[in-house]
Amino acid sequence: MRFLSNVPIAIRLAGAFSAVLALLGAVILLGLNQIDRIGESSRQLASTSLQNVILVHNAQGAAQAGASLLHSLFLLDREKRIPVYARIDQNARIRDTAISELLVSSDATKFRPTLMRVVKARDAFVVAFNQTVDEVEMESGVARWLMLSKTMPALQTMLDDLDELVQLQSQYANEMIQGIQTQQSAGRQRILLLGLASLLVACVSAFAITRSISRPLAQTAKLARDVAAGNFDGEIPKAGRDEMGVLIRALDEMRGGIAARERRIVELAYHDVLTGLPNRTLFSDRLQQAVKAAVRGNHAVSVIVMDLDRFKQVNDVLGHPVGDELLGKVADRLRSVVLRDSDTVARIGGDEFAVLLPTQTGAEAIIVAKRLLAALEEPISLQGQLVDVSASFGLASFPEHGHEAAELMSRADIAMYVAKQAGSGYVLFESNQERSSEHGLTLLSDLRHALENNEFLLNFQPKMRLGSGVCNSAEVLIRWKHPTRGLIPPDQFIPFAEQTGFIKSITRWVLENACKQAAAWHAQGLPLAINVNISTRDLVSHDLPSFVAEILQQTGFPTELLCLEITESAIMDDPVHALASLTRLNAMGVKLSIDDFGTGYSSLAYLKKLPVQELKIDRSFVMNLDADAGDEVIVRSTIELAHNMGLNVVAEGVENARVLQQLTELGCNEAQGYFFSRPLPAQEFSAWLKAVPSFLAQPAHADT
């Protein structure tokens, strides 16, 4: 069947159908020809043999009739014999005409001897007959004797010869009939054979063509399933020059393209594009595998987390392209130190790097950290400028500092934070470094359980429109109600959550539950806008916009009523990724607010690049606004400049009527603080919202 794959399927089908049709045509032509031959033979039989038999019978009948008339002559008078002679002559003519026609028939040559005997016998009969007639006319006594002795025997001889001729004609007719039957049988066999041949050709063609298509099609389908399953190394079917071959080659090209793109996707998914190092995802996976192997093999695993010092200043002074170049060169130096194939150097975000040492103890990790520090001591040349680079390293080891990958990473993070604060270069984790509550709460473990057991609560603090006293929005704040340790303030767990990365899970919980509650209020006729705080780690996450969109769709909360608050420091930690996330969120219709403005390192000049709609003045400038002229200058300048940029201004920390009045005079748009209300649980806030007083007409004092 291999040769068929080089023939186009259309030609194969056309050839097979043509062959079958040709054989069927041959069957039809053969059948028609057979019918014509049988018809011709039948016509020949009817027109010759049967006609000759009739002629013979005519001759016999005429001769016998003549003999009978001869007998009647003996019984009639002379006068009465004349009509008889006329009838005798008529029969003689019939007899002679029949014999003459037999002599000129198409079969005369086949029966020539018998015909000659018939002619001879007829002539003898005619002579004897005429002699007898003459004697009858002469009334001779010998007439009767002559008729009995010569005429009748001559008649009998002629009749016998004619009978023999009839037998020969009958025999010949039987032979012709048998020939016709033989032709019929042979024709039937030929038609049957041609029919069987047609059927055989049709079956063989159908089998060959079907097999030549179905087999490579099945192989192609298997190849497609392999590609769908991610197996790009499966054997490709042999491709001919037909349509299946074209399909197979196209599928192979598609497989190659998909494999190349998947390799690229995997590379992008598990590697940092800027440095070429493994990213956080791949590092986490390798760390988990290393911990499992360490448990089985009873050996150590160490993790080093590194954060560059003053990287933000490099970005601010020299620009982000130079900062990217710096990260690339730092990655090269780290790679040059970590030489073992089993070790992993990764960039886990921003200016953070991590090193996995799958079989080394904490003491051995310290040696590696010292080498890493030494590798970064020499200044790095960036676009013709030498830049001094320093870093802080945090180390943690299995099993001394944790038995899970996440635990090791969080404790290496804590050690790195301690090293950065102390300026010591590197620090190996110790248990007393882990921040905890005043009751010794192990935050990371308890935070995880708090999320699983729904121990977090949401409070809502109103934002008031100055000039109208209307509350149409609120800031969402999280509280932690521990089952045994009571209410834990946010400042005791939020910084730690941000440091360990657990803040991302907390933010998602807050966003989902806040939108659910606000959507419920919206359904009750309270179209309240909400502000939700977003951390640094949330902001640089690529999936933040898609997650926000998913929550809004699930809860049905209007997009335009959601405002996300971002701190200046969160934006400036990684401005490129932050700006990308903010742009996508803004395009979705989500409002954006700069929280705690004035406490970070950015400027209003950078602020104009951000797609934000709101600016919140930090409480440190607002609380003593009525007593500190310097704060008043800062607040006034901020409000004026923000208004010139088209931003809504919100003042935080309003605690008395004098500050409220001053903010109103300065043109501040909104304010929040204990003067209006402390943060309230959802049910209490709903009741407060329905009974909200007019703060311009009759200020309500705060519960501090």
SS3 277: coil
Indicate whether 600 belongs to any domain. yes
137 half-sphere exposure, CB direction, 13 A CA radius: 10
Is 502 found in the same domain as 388? no
Phi/psi at 411 (5° precision)? -80, -30
Task: Report how far residue 355's alpha carbon sits from residue 343's, in angstroms, rounded to the nearest whole number.
Answer: 7
Domain boundary among 180, 214, 248: 214
Q: What is the pLDDT of residue 36?
A: 65
Please check the confidence at residue 371 and state whether its pLDDT lies above 70: yes
Q: Is the pLDDT assigned to residue 437 strictly greater than 50?
A: no
Domain membership flag for residue 102 = yes
| Most confident region among 146-160, 244-258, 655-669 by mean pLDDT | 655-669
Percent pLDDT > 70 in the chain is 81
Q: Do 48 and 120 lie in a common domain?
A: yes
The β-bridge partners of 427 are: 394
Question: Where does the pLDDT of residue 30 fall: very low under 50, low under 70, confident under 90, or very high at 90 and above?
Answer: low
User: What mean pLDDT is predicted for residues 230-249?
Assistant: 67
- The answer to whether residues 325 and 348 belong to one domain is yes
Greatest mean pLDDT among 72-86, 305-319, 353-367 lies in 353-367
What is the average per-residue pLDDT within 300-306? 94
- Domain final residue pick, 432, 457, 475: 432
pLDDT class of 574 with cuts at 50, 70, 90? low
pLDDT tens digits for range 213-226: 667 777 677 777 77
User: Residue 563 pLDDT more than 90?
Assistant: yes
Split into its structural domains, the chain has a count of 3
CATH of the domain at 314: 3.30.70.270
Residue 48 shares a structural domain with residue 77: yes
In whole angstroms, what separates CA 557 from the centre of its chain?
33
| b/e burial code for range 196-217 (CB count within 10 A of at least 16 → b) | eebeebbeebeeebeebbeebe
pLDDT surpasses 90 at 398? yes
Q: What is the mean pLDDT of residues 334-342?
A: 86
Average pLDDT of the chain, as a whole number: 80
Any domain includes 244: no
What value does the mean pLDDT take over residues 603-609? Answer: 61
Query: Do residues 66 and 113 both lie within one domain?
Result: yes
Greatest mean pLDDT among 230-239, 489-498, 513-522 lies in 513-522
pLDDT at 444: 66
Specify the CATH number for the domain of residue 476. 3.20.20.450
Structure confidence at residue 122 as a pLDDT band (50, 70, 90): confident
119-123, 264-268, 376-380: the lowest-pLDDT one:
264-268
Q: Is the pLDDT of residue 313 over 60?
A: yes
Inside any domain, residue 209: yes
Same domain (yes/no): 468, 369: no
Average pLDDT on 373-380 reads: 88
Residues 141 and 95 in one domain: yes
Residue 254 inside a domain? The answer is no
Give the confidence band of 585 by pLDDT, cuts at 50, 70, 90. Answer: very high
Q: What is the torsion angle, in degrees rounded to the nearest 10, for the CA atoms of residue 133, residue 134, residue 137 and residue 139?
A: -100
Q: Which of 432, 455, 475 is the C-terminal boundary of a domain?
A: 432
If asked whether residues 499 and 640 sit together in one domain, one would say: yes
Task: Tell whether 253 is covered by a domain.
Answer: no
Do residues 428 and 474 both lie within one domain? Answer: no
Residues 413 and 458 in one domain: no
Which range, 18-27, 107-116, 121-130, 657-666, is most confident?
657-666
Average of per-residue pLDDT across 313-318: 70
- Is the per-residue pLDDT at 702 higher than 60? no
| Residue 189 included in any domain | yes
Partners of 303 in beta bridges: 356, 396
- Kindly state whether residue 679 falls inside one of the protein's structural domains: yes
Partnered with residue 386 across adjacent β-strands are: 381
- Check whether residue 596 and residue 576 sit in a common domain: yes
Same domain membership, residue 454 and residue 415: no
Query: Which residues span the domain enclosing 640?
Result: 443-689
Tokens 């179209």, located at residue: 527
Q: What share of the chain in percent tops pLDDT 90?
A: 28
pLDDT level of residue 11 (50, 70, 90 thresholds)? low
